[in-house]
Chains A and B, each alone.
Chain A
């Protein structure tokens, strides 16, 4: 349609959440027309239902709210996906992947495991470029290394963007194994006791038995943390973290 420029994925998300199709328009996609049409048809349909059932307001209001919110969310998610990072070569090299939760109570532990048709060295070049690799995440917006090169003890500035809301979190590389992986923390500015403190453990290992002798490497990312919010119960936290990690796995699969 036209070049979308530097539209942020969350801007598109919020636009479409308000007006289905608006985010697609901002992303420069022709699909906006389909969403506008869908929104128009839904509005017309609901008005017709209301006209013919003026007395049944008990179910008409929830129906209208449900359909409207559903369409807005679907459109918002589609608009966001239109602006996500795509693999450089045009095709993903991930051949298999899994996202498993081992969380118990308030202790969160989710494992993302991806088998990739890349050599260990090639993958390490991608994974060790932290400012690029760490933004393949649902909420990481920009990552700044506080020193010139990544290494043990280097602080990280993790700029987050969640649903259009930008905030900073702070981390530190607490383990660095050249060629095989690293671990870094992700803490709130209020300290380690609040705001879901967690660590990312990134590990790579070659897998034997790739098809046709092609190199195969397993990239595993463990996210371990503690659900500290007093406002939301632990089960909700586990569900939320698992959903975010699934999204993280999907983004990695798409981008690598």
Chain B
């Protein structure tokens, strides 16, 4: 049987009497098995596990901290957080290049998993965050590795102390969030419209008006992931001033019917949103427009207006548009099935006509009256 040293892992010569390891000098006694190891001990985890755990913890806590601070969900949350935990990962782990790649992906997955577990992000947002985090995390990781290499190689007298202060990287996203909140951005009102032409008269289409909560057929997978599960709605949609309550599995939305012009237009304002999960958009209002097309056809246009909370826009806007159009498409399909009757199931669903626009409003602090919506 081969014997190895407990301390250095070196192979020990088999002797009949107590001896010392020729490499590190640790005593051993071949006659007592508890003083020798029967296999080489692997302690490679020491080079990455503490740094990895610290990085995941910092990532989760700083994300939660930024959310708690409130305000914009922007650069600090989606860039400073992954850069910060990526930099810590690079700084605190000593691995080969492929190891950093694997660990970086594992760290992102772990942070996302924890965020979803603690209800700080939904499933869909979690997946999206995972993709968004990729580039900043690896950028931070490279910075962390470079910083460690420079500190080790450099002859700066205070490097030893600086090595401790580098952990202040963890505070970077929180400081960034506070700074971001000090500089209010212009408000961005997104207007998402989706149209559909159906084989029904305007009156039939009007009678088929329904909210997301009333649609009978199952929603597409995107809505399953991205939106709370609808349960039902309560209230008369055809009565101006009536407050309709839409119930979801994690809260409710109250909508006040603001305009009823049968069979042309139905509009509503969102009065309140009470959700247990994080709100990623500030819903404003919406409506249904019905116009006749020929003798026996109608065009229905659904509109949703909301204030965007997620930044930067170039990442989140296409995702938001896709989700809202899918939602509209789901509601329009429900209306089409109801208006066209049983024969609707035999026909393939017609293509939707998406249309988007945006309004820019000044920051809340210097807000102008709502009717002066500049910058259309």
* Interface residues of A, Cβ cutoff 8 Å to B: 50, 54-55, 58, 61-62, 144, 146-148, 154-155, 157, 167-168, 170, 189, 230-233
Contacts and interface: CB of A to CB of B under 8 A. Distances in A.
Contact of B6 (A157, A230, A233): A157
B160 interface: yes
Nearest to A61: B68
B164 A233 contact: yes
Nearest to A64: B118
Contacts of B274: 54-55
Contacts of A144: 34-35
Given A54-B251, A231-B167, A147 B29 contact: yes
Interface string B1-43: 0000011100000000010000000111100101100000101
A50 B275 CA distance: 11
Interface of B: 6-8, 18, 26-29, 32, 34-35, 41, 43, 64, 68, 160, 163-164, 167, 251, 274, 276
A147 B30 CA distance: 11
| Most A C-beta atoms less than 10 A away, residue of B7, B34, B164, B251 | B7
Contacts of A50: 276
A61 B118 CA distance: 10
A61 to B, nearest CB: 7
B167 A147 contact: no
Contacts, number: 45
Contacts of B164: 230-233
Contact of A58 (B27, B29, B68): B68
B27 A154 contact: yes
A144 B7 CA distance: 13
A194 to B, nearest CB: 11
A195 to B, nearest CB: 10
Given A58-B68, A230-B163, 15 more contacts: A54-B276, A55-B274, A61-B64, A146-B26, A146-B27, A146-B28, A147-B27, A148-B29, A148-B32, A157-B34, A167-B43, A168-B7, A170-B26, A231-B167, A232-B164
Given A168-B6, A189-B43, A233-B164, A147 B276 contact: no
B160 A230 contact: yes
Nearest to A146: B27
A247 to B, nearest CB: 22
A62 B61 CA distance: 12
A235 to B, nearest CB: 12
Contacts of B32: 148
Contacts of A62: 68
Contacts of A146: 18, 26-29, 35
B29 A189 contact: no
B309 to A, nearest CB: 15
Nearest to B277: A57
25 contacts: A50-B276, A54-B274, A54-B276, A58-B68, A61-B64, A61-B68, A62-B68, A146-B26, A146-B27, A146-B28, A146-B29, A147-B29, A148-B32, A155-B26, A155-B27, A157-B6, A168-B41, A170-B6, A170-B7, A189-B8, A230-B160, A230-B164, A231-B164, A232-B164, A233-B164
